[in-house]
Amino acid sequence: MTKSRGWTILCGMLVALASCRSPLALEGLTISVAVSSDEVSVGESVTITTIIRNDAWKPVTIAANKCGPAFRVTTVMGTDVPLGYPTACTLVAQSVTLAPGEGFRFLDVWDGRDRSGAQLVGVYRVIGDPFSGYSRPSAPVALRWLE
């Protein structure tokens, strides 16, 4: 291999690496979350709306089908509560391209149970986190499960 050919291959690899982006490179997105009620009785469910807004100057493509909820729950001290959502998932990726200023909503219904099936009682924090750590999650919203 000649010196110039080796340099060309090396430059090609560097360009490829520099231009490779994770499909979840989601800079420019703002995530918010809302609950249908901030106090819910045991046995009832709450609707959780996670909203993604493209605040970037260019379009951003996101995965529109999720395996699990678009939110997570923590105790008031910040400990994650494992949720009992089904893990079955479609193998066909569905994506949505958000134009600048455009938004997308994920709607989830949660019955207040953790992964083991135990009903939560007390105050918890709901956080919009549809991309599980690949973007900045929403600010938390308080939710109280009443006995």
Dump pLDDT digits (tens) for 1-31. 444 444 333 333 333 333 333 344 567 889 9
Dump pLDDT digits (tens) for 125-142. 999 998 876 678 889 999
Residue ranges and CATH numbers for the domains of the chain are 23-146 (2.60.40.10)
Strand order in the sheet with 80-81: 39-41, 141-146, 122-128, 71-75, 80-81
pTM: 0.76
Q: Which of 112, 50, 109 lies closest to 81 in space, CA to CA? A: 112
Distance from first CA to last CA of the chain, Å, rounded? 75
